[in-house]
Structure 1
Amino acid sequence: MTREEKVALVSSLTDGFKEADGVIVSEFKGLTVSKLEELRASAKDLDVKVQVIKNTLANIALKNAGKDGIELKDTSIFIWGDQLNSSKVAAKFAEKNDKFIIKAAHIDGEVCSTDKVIALSKLPGREELIAMLLQVWNAPVQNFTIGLNALKEKKEQSA
């Protein structure tokens, strides 16, 4: 990789990390290419980026984005995007693959542990929250119509 390519990569990574609410660093040693493709496909569905990046370039990009503090060792795969979706992608994939280990994360402007990533992954997403809200709004109307229908049937039987 030439110096110009490295500069361009660091620049694009810096922009991506600045826009991202969550950056998760994981170890993937021992995973097959097909497993990594599964990870990329599941991340693409949630608009989350996944990329293997050389540690020196990643350190520069993270520092430029104001997300420094993550200690990078060995081979790392980076997952970044919305904090909730990136946490869901990483945690779900870590459950299925024991060789995929979440090492560190930068969420909400601070370096956090894997416990926070796993806790975030268990929270409901936007669509799930909207569905819950609609259920709550719909319940009184539904119960009212059931009650009216029962009253109507009772009146018909007595008449």
Structure 2
Amino acid sequence: MPSQSNQAMLDKVAVSLEASKGVFVVDYQGLSVKETQEVRRALTAAGAHMKVYKNNIVKIALKNAEMPQIDEQLSGTCAYVFYEKDPVDAAKVIKEQSEKLKKMAFVGGIADGKALSAENAQAYADLPSREELLAKLVYVIGSPLSGIAQVCAGPARGLATALQAVADQKNAA
């Protein structure tokens, strides 16, 4: 029979999994308390939160939630980053903090309903954010429209230039 504290932790993990769209697993070995607080603040701003749970409890919670199993990744000092919105935003924060502190690294995770290796989790951090993709989409849609507008305005611009030239000739004479 599991201890009451382990059962409470299992319930917390289950709630975190249910409220999130996915999770990244990071190795946080060597982080000081101050550095950990800094990482957590940055993740909160990105719509994610970092928790530390026992690896075996997380394995059980993932199995109970019928999520992809990432058992081989859950060993050592693991922290779990649960994100509610965009996995790219959370991954970018993890990458920035790991480059800044040189003490964190991706171990794996679950995103879009699939298990991720450390390399795949890192690849999420290299993707453009949702806002960047939307800006590129607007540019791609707007480019042909501005070209069409310039082509349509060409004859009118040419006529205006010709009339101005005639007016200048008459004024000069």
User: Normalised by the size of structure 1, how large is the TM-score?
Assistant: 0.79
Match of 1:95 in 2: 99
Superposed structure 1 runs of 4+ greater than 3 Å apart: 3-6, 18-21, 140-147
Gaps of 5+ in 2: 167-173
Amino acid at match of 2:52: V
Q: Secondary structure at the match of 2:35?
A: helix
Count residues with an aligned counterpart: 157
Match of 1:154 in 2: 161
Bigger drift between 118-127 and 8-17 goes to: 8-17
Per-residue CA distance 1:30-74 (angstroms, 9 max, x = gap): 112222122112211221121111223222222222233323222
> Which protein is bigger by CA-based radius of gyration?
2
Q: Aligned-pair distance for 1:19?
A: 4.5
Q: Is the alpha carbon distance of 1:155 and 1:15 closer, same or farther for their aligned partners in structure 2, counting shifts above 3 Å? A: farther
Alpha-carbon distance between aligned partners in 1 of 2:146 and 2:82, rounded to the nearest angstrom: 41
Q: Secondary structure at the match of 1:91?
A: helix
Per-residue CA distance 1:48-107 (angstroms, 9 max, x = gap): 121111223222222222233323222211112243333223223222222112122223
Gaps of 5+ in 1: none
Pair 1:140 & 2:144 matched: yes
User: Normalised by the size of structure 2, how large is the TM-score?
Assistant: 0.73
Alignment of 1:1-159 (within 5 A): 3-4=3-4, 6-67=6-67, 68-71=69-72, 72-81=74-83, 82-145=86-149, 148=153, 151=157, 154-155=161-162, 157-159=164-166
CA contact (8 A) 1:40 1:50 kept: yes
Amino acid at match of 2:103: K
Q: Is the alpha carbon distance of 1:154 and 1:37 closer, same or farther for their aligned partners in structure 2, counting shifts above 3 Å? A: farther
Alpha-carbon distance between aligned partners in 1 of 2:139 and 2:109, rounded to the nearest angstrom: 34
CA contact (8 A) 1:50 1:79 kept: yes
Q: Is the alpha carbon distance of 1:56 and 1:136 closer, same or farther for their aligned partners in structure 2, counting shifts above 3 Å? A: same
> What is the RMSD computed on CA atoms of the aligned residues?
2.6
